[in-house]
Structure 1
C-alpha cells in the first residue's frame, strides 16, 4: 500500500507483524521531501499503527504518522536512511536488508533444489476446492449434507481437458476435499482417501495422470484445525487460554474447529499415518497445508506446550520444512516473508476473491495498491491469489495480475465434467460488456463458443503464463506512474536487454502509452501492453498502426529460438476483438491462433 499524505482521508489502522493483512514484510517505509527511509524490525512482536489527521490550520492540510508498539522479546527497530529516492529506492534498500537476514532465496536456487519447481514458472493455479463437501453441524455430530463435486477420475479428466483441449501448457493443479471426511472435515485424520470420490487407488491414479501431463499435482491439507469427530480428537493438543479453556477456530464444513498448538501440528503431521503415508500412497510433487502462513502468530497458555508468537512462527517453519523435504515442493495460504526460504508458492498473496484484499479496503486509507512485494521478492516465490470470483467482474483483478506479472488462480471450476454437460444445451449469451467484463469476452477470438470457464481461463493464461515465465527470475526494479492521477502505471522487470516492460491503464478513460513493438498504443480502461524480448501482448484500441475500436487482445511469441524482433516465425494468439494484426509490415488475419512468417499456419 502506498499511503499518501494528501488524500484528504482521515483514518486509524494497525498493521501487526505477520498478522492477516498486516505487515507481511517486517518493514514500513517513509518517503518525504524526495528522501526515503526504511523502518524494519526482527520477529513478530511489533505493531505499526498508522494515523491520518486532517488539519485545519497551517500550510499542511493532512498529517500521516506511524507509531510502532513493541512487545518482548522485541526491543528495537532499525532505521535505514536510503538517501534521495522513492518507492523504488525503498524496495531496493529493503531487498538488501532481506538478503542480510537470509530471506532472499531465489527461484533459481529453488529450481536447483528441486527441478519440479521449474514447472511452476508460468503455471496457472487450478484448484478443485471440495471434491467431497460434507457439511456437519456445529458440534460435528450430525451430517447436514454430502455432495460429491468431482470424483478423482473427473479431476484427472479436467486436467486432461485443460492440457489437450485448451492447450494450457503449465498448471499447478490442487485438489481439496480428498480426505476421508471431505474438505475441512475430521482433520487431522486424512486417510484413507474418501470412497465417495474413488478412494486411495483412484486418487493415486488421478495424480499420476495429472503429472503425466507435465502439471504439478498438489494435495490440500490442514493441521491447524481439529474437529471433535476426528478419530484423533484430543483436547491435550489444542491451544489453551490462561484459564485452561480450549481456543476455538472458525465454523467450517466440518463443524466448529479447534486450534491445534503449533508444535502439536508438526507432531500430528509427521505421524506415520499422515504425511509419510500420504507421500507413499500418492506421490504428488507438491503439498499444500492450509492456514500455516495465513493466520497471525498464535499464543498458547498450556503449561505442557506453552507458545509465544515468535515460537509459533518457528514451529510453522519446521512444519513447512518437514513437508517440503518429503514432497519436494510446498506452499500455504497467503504468505509471509519469513516463509520464503521454507516454501515454493503462496496462495492468497496477490489477491482474494477478485479483490486486492480480503477485508482491507484501500480507499478507507486513501491508499494506492502497488506491487511492492514484487519489487522485493518477485524472483523468489511463486505467488497466486485465492478463492473464487466472477470472470465478468474481474477486469481490474486481471489488470492487477498483469502489473504484478503473476498468473491467475482459477478457483471457481464448475462441478463434474462441466464442459461436456452444456453440449446441446447452450443458450445464446450476450457478449460481456464494460471494462470489468473485458477478459470474459470471446468475440471473434480463440475461445468463442466455449464454456465461459474455459474461455476466461484460456484467454488470461495466454497472457499471464508467458508474462510470468518471462519475469519469474527478475525483480520489479522500477514502478512509474505515467499520469498525474497515478492510474497509468508502468512496471519494469529486470534490466538491460532482458528487461520486460508492462503498462496498465487503471483509469476510467482511454490512455496513450509507448511500446517497443506497438509504437503509440491506445489503452482502454484496464487495457495493457507488454514488451519483452520473447513476448508482446496487448489489450488495446490501437497497436502498431492498427485501430481496434472496441479493443482487441493479442499475444505474440517467437516460434523459433530467436528473440521476437528477429524471429522468422511468430505464434500469434487472438483472444477477442477485431482479428487483424500488423507484424513485419504485413497485415495478418488471425481469428484464433496462427504461426506467421515464411510459413503461415492458422488454427
Structure 2
C-alpha cells in the first residue's frame, strides 16, 4: 500500500509489516520483525500472530492502512496514516480484546539507523538533552527510571534521529503510560530508538498514539523549533511573562543568587547513608539564627538578589518523617526561629523557599499507614531505606495535595514569610500508579495530583519549584533545583553518554527559571560556562544534602574564595536578568567541535564558550 503527501511517499509492506518513508533526499524504513507484545506467558512478535489482515484507511483528514491482529485471547488493531494538512505520520495502537495481561507493547519498530558516521546522530531528552552520534565510543542502553516519559529520563516526550541533515522527530502523545529505549553498542555503528507502551492499572485499555515528522536540511535546532510550534498548538506553553503577570515574584526571582543550606540532619540507623564507623557524622544542627547571620553577611557583601533554599528546617530533619514533618525544628529555634529567619530574609528583600516532600512516605511518620501507600500489582508496596529517614514506601499521590494543604496552612499560620516552595522529586521521578481499591490512581492521574500541589502554591502567592523540570508541570512550575546535562550528575571518572546539547532550553527557556551548578572541576570543565551558555541562574552556595550524590562530588572541585564565588554569580545573574524572558533560538557547535559552543537568544544576545580555554564571551 502506498500514499503520498507533496514530496513525501509513505508505503506499507504487508509481508514484513514495515513502513517506508521516501523523501527527495533519503529514505527511512522501520526494522523488520522488531514489534512485539509481552504477556505473562510469552513474547509475541507481531509477524508471528496467527491472523493478520490489512485494509485501506481513510477519513476526512488523512489516509493510510489499518491492520487487524488476532491471536489466542488477544486482538488489537494498528492504524498508520498521514494527514492531508501537513504530512504528519500518525501511529495508533488500539486494544480490542485482552484476555491475557500485556506487560508492554513495542511498536512501531525502530528505524533502520546503521552507519559508522558521526553525522548520523540521535537526540534524547535525557535531562537537559543529549546528542548521541552513531560513532560514540561508549555503550548506552540503560536510562534512568527505565526510560519512562515524564521523568528525568525525558523532560519532553519526543526523540529524533538525523542522518546527513535529514531527520525525523517522534512525538509520544500518550506519554504518561510510555517509556523509550535506546540500543547503542560501544563504537556503534547503529542506534536504535523505540517506544514501549505500558499498561495502565494492569491493562492496555485505551489507544496509544504517537506521530512522526520528517525534515530535510535540518539539525537539532530545527526539531526543537518544530516541537515548540507543536507545544504551542497543544496549549503546553506558559511563558515566564505570563507567570509574572500572575505573580510578580517571578521578576524578583530572576537574577537571584541561589543559596542551598540546611538546618538539621539526622540519619537513621536503617538508612543506607548511616555511617557505622563514625556515628557523629550522621547528625548535625545549625540554628535558624546562625543562618540569619549568614544571610546578613551576604547582604553586606553587596548581593542584591538572593534565594535561600532551606533543607531540614522541620522537627525531624532532612528527609525524615514525611509527610508529618511539623513543627519547625525546636532545637534550632522552633517556629519563632524560623519566623525570625524569614523576617531577616524579607528585610533584606531576599526570598525564602522550604524543601518539602510528598512522595517519600516514611514508616516513622506519625500518620504512616501502609493502606495509604502506593500499591502495585499483587498488592505490593515499593519500599526502600535509601534516604536519611530510613524505611519508607511511596505515598499514594491521591493524598499528596491534601497533605500539602494541611502542612502549609500551619506553616503560614505562624506568619512565615514564604515566597517559594520546593516540592521534591515530583518532576524527576516517574509517575506512580496505585491499584488500591480505596484510592486507585493511574500514572496520568498521578501527574494531575502533583500538578495540583503546584497549583495550590500558586493560589497562596508562593512560587512553586521541584527537583528538575518536566513539560507536564510547566503550566505551574516557575523554577527548579536544576535541569542539568546528564554528565553533571555523575563523577568525572564516569564516561559520558553522549554530547550534551540544550534541547530543553531550545524549546522552553522562556518558560521556567533554571539555576546551574557553578563548580570548577579539577582539570575539567568550569560549570559556570554552561550556566552562561544556557542563560540560567547561578548557585552562589550549594551544600550537599548527601555525600557524593545528586551531582555533588566535593573532592573533584577547586576551592574558590567567597569573593570569587560572588563575582562569578553576579556575572551569571546579570545575564539571566537580560535573557530570562527570551527564547533560546539557536545553539551550535562551532566548527562541529563540542568544546566550542554558541547560543543565541531572541533579543540577539549571543554567548560563546571555549571549553579548551575555559573562557566565555557575551555579545
Structure 1 and Structure 2 fold alike (TM over 0.5): yes
Aligned pairs for 1:238-249 within 5 A: 238-249=373-384
How many Å apart are 1:389 and its aligned residue? 6.0
Counterparts in 2 of 1:351 and 1:344: CA distance versus 1, 3 Å: same
Which residue of 238, 247, 250 corresponds with 1:114? 247
Counterparts in 2 of 1:8 and 1:194: CA distance versus 1, 3 Å: closer
Q: Tell whether 2:177 aligns with 1:45.
A: yes
- SS of residue matched to 1:197: coil
Which residue of 493, 502, 510 corresponds with 1:371? 502
Residue number in structure 2 paired with 1:401: 531
Counterparts in 2 of 1:283 and 1:351: CA distance versus 1, 3 Å: farther
How many Å apart are 1:307 and its aligned residue? 2.4
- SS of residue matched to 1:76: strand
Residue number in structure 1 paired with 2:601: 493
Q: In 2, distance between residues paired with 1:88 and 1:436? A: 32
Counterparts in 2 of 1:235 and 1:86: CA distance versus 1, 3 Å: same
Q: Would you say the 8 A contact 2:427–2:467 is kept in 1?
A: yes
Q: Would you say the 8 A contact 2:586–2:599 is kept in 1?
A: yes
Counterparts in 2 of 1:106 and 1:393: CA distance versus 1, 3 Å: farther
Residues 265-305 of structure 1: per-residue CA shift (max 9 Å, x gap): 2222222xx11111232130111111111111112232211
Q: In 1, distance between residues paired with 2:306 and 2:158? A: 33
How many Å apart are 1:379 and its aligned residue? 0.6
How many Å apart are 1:248 and its aligned residue? 1.2
Residue number in structure 2 paired with 1:153: 289
Aligned pairs for 1:274-353 within 5 A: 274-281=407-414, 282-350=416-484
Counterparts in 2 of 1:161 and 1:74: CA distance versus 1, 3 Å: farther
Q: In 1, distance between residues paired with 2:492 and 2:178? A: 19
Which residue of 51, 55, 66 corresponds with 2:193? 66
Counterparts in 2 of 1:53 and 1:377: CA distance versus 1, 3 Å: same
How many Å apart are 1:133 and its aligned residue? 1.1
Residue number in structure 1 paired with 2:299: 163
Residues 418-447 of structure 1: per-residue CA shift (max 9 Å, x gap): xxxxxxxxxxxxxxxxx975xx66xxxxxx
Q: Tell whether 2:334 aligns with 1:194.
A: no
- SS of residue matched to 1:172: strand
Residues 65-88 of structure 1: per-residue CA shift (max 9 Å, x gap): 212222344612111234432111
Q: Tell whether 2:573 aligns with 1:465.
A: yes
Aligned pairs for 1:189-588 within 5 A: 189-271=324-406, 274-281=407-414, 282-350=416-484, 355-358=487-490, 363=495, 365=497, 367-385=498-516, 395-413=525-543, 437=558, 452=561, 454-494=562-602, 498-507=603-612, 525-531=613-619
Q: Tell whether 2:164 aligns with 1:76.
A: no
Residues 310-348 of structure 1: per-residue CA shift (max 9 Å, x gap): 221121111221223224210011121111112111113
Which residue of 134, 141, 151 corresponds with 1:5? 134
How many Å apart are 1:484 and its aligned residue? 3.8
Structure 2's unaligned 5+ residue stretches are 1-129, 199-203, 546-555
Residue number in structure 2 paired with 1:125: 258
**Number of residue pairs matched?**
465
Q: In 1, distance between residues paired with 2:523 and 2:295? A: 25
Q: In 1, distance between residues paired with 2:284 and 2:186? A: 55
Q: Would you say the 8 A contact 2:482–2:515 is kept in 1?
A: yes
Counterparts in 2 of 1:465 and 1:241: CA distance versus 1, 3 Å: same
Residue number in structure 2 paired with 1:599: none
How many Å apart are 1:147 and its aligned residue? 4.0
Counterparts in 2 of 1:400 and 1:226: CA distance versus 1, 3 Å: same
Q: In 2, distance between residues paired with 1:20 and 1:188? A: 22
Q: In 2, distance between residues paired with 1:197 and 1:458? A: 27
RMSD: 2.9
- SS of residue matched to 1:66: strand
Q: In 2, distance between residues paired with 1:396 and 1:240? A: 44
Q: Would you say the 8 A contact 1:287–1:327 is kept in 2?
A: no
Q: In 2, distance between residues paired with 1:348 and 1:54? A: 29
- SS of residue matched to 2:510: coil
Q: In 2, distance between residues paired with 1:209 and 1:413? A: 21
Counterparts in 2 of 1:139 and 1:177: CA distance versus 1, 3 Å: closer
Q: In 1, distance between residues paired with 2:539 and 2:172? A: 32
- SS of residue matched to 1:288: strand
Structure 1's unaligned 5+ residue stretches are 56-60, 416-434, 442-451, 508-524, 532-603
Residue number in structure 1 paired with 2:236: 103
TM-score of the two chains, using structure 2 as the length reference: 0.70
